[in-house]
Structure 1
Amino acid sequence: MKVKTRKGGTVSIEGEDIEEVDQFTYLGSIMDRNGGTDADIRTRISKARQAFAMLKPVWKSTAFTENTKIRIFNTNVKSVLFYGAETWRLTAGEPAIKQLKRRTWQWIGHTLRKPVGSITRQALEWNPQGHRRPGRPFHSWRRSRRKELEEIGYTWSEAKRIAQNRVRWKATVAALCSTRNEED
């Protein structure tokens, strides 16, 4: 949607010329020349972060139950984030979960290329001994990544070897993040 497609000509209301701008705020939402919502979404995310940060004492407090904190989050953070969301245009961009998965695997490859003594590589490859207490989830972050590798026929050892070649790793990440492997 284009708001105005040609330059020139001025708009006047009661004899007063209206300035032409690239974007403006109307009823709390940012409107831009091309009808895009990216600036508005970025602003909403920023405002939600600020609201979340202002409630830091609540999050740290032991006086509130988890359910109360969730209700506070929903009313004070989510409402700020989603204000005006019904007017945002839908795009065919990459889904957030897929983008997160891709970036995770890119980071893993980057970390596996680091020297063995690197603290981040040690943290990635660390395998704590012992058993989880009853009630704790069986699947850890690393076990979930290992399962994703197994779905495309690789082991963790093979992934470490492949990560040394950036071109092959990029292809592996693409295979890990392809839509046919998604279980949404």
Structure 2
Amino acid sequence: MKRATNQQPRGITWKAFNHLEDEDFVDDIALLSHSQKDMQEKTRCVKTTARSIGLKISHSRSKVMKINTKSNSDVLIEGKSVENVTDFKYLGNYLTADGNTSREISARIVMASTAFYKLKNIWKSNRIMKDAKLKLYTSHVRSVLLYASETRRTNQRIESKLRGFEGRCLRRILGIRWEHRVTNKEIFERTGIRPIVEEVKKRRWRWLGHVLRMSKSRHPLIALTWNPKGSRRSLYSNGCLRCNLGLPVQLSSNLQHYDEDLECQTVRPHLLAGDMYITNIYFPPPTPSPLKSINTHDHLIVGDFTKLGVCRHGRSGTGARGPDDRKPADLDKQVR
């Protein structure tokens, strides 16, 4: 890939003087460009370089995702147009051009429901103790629902869906019917299981802590402060990437200061234990980060990456108040 992309910068602007040309995962290659012309030329260089070492790009398995672009031109491989898509499934997750995760959440609930139904004989059995059933639920059902939940949307609507699904499962395991009038709070007290919404927040904080402790050259850390070229409309519905990861909006413009907070002996243990959460902050739909979006099997991504929802420092859009405009002094009101 270095031989194919070092000839001329055709990637997206990643750092002040650097470009992100591609991301590779095993034999999957993702190419990025701001224009169709650059993408076509880069694809040609990759095809030529791959052929010189006995490799070939699979046309049928290659896809193109256009993000916030009006170009109708196709990317060609050996004279054939590559299919344009608005979403695709990668590593068990549905990724979309607009960052909408509705399909992904629905698919996760369906898969978790299927896993729960396969164990219906266990839930009905009176010979199996409750603790054993709960362990099976946690390892075989809940794990399916929580897959990649660190960067997933957690607004009120989705939280309600997650609570509803888990409530139905636990009531079925405990043999509680609707006429018993048992509250969810009492169910969690009986089972000793952390509510799934709190578990999602805990995982988000732990993952965010790992990212903030990475070296400054790592892509996940760069993605938190990445400012794409161009502009996007005011109050874009998908929000910014930092908000999607659960990063306190007051500190999103100063990651170094926030990293010091994570290392604080009095704060970090509570964050890692999941005892400290952000409240009164809207977590918008998770926009695929550049790292996660481009690790696709032979996917070519072209377009204006401002639609990924990564807001600039200061004001977001025209005349709108961005999340970075808030005062750091309000942190105590948001964190408990």
- Report the TM-score, using the length of structure 2 for normalisation: 0.27
TM-score calculated relative to the size of structure 1: 0.47
Of structures 1 and 2, the one with the larger relative CO (CA 8 A, separation 6+) is 2
Larger radius of gyration: 1
Higher helix share: 1
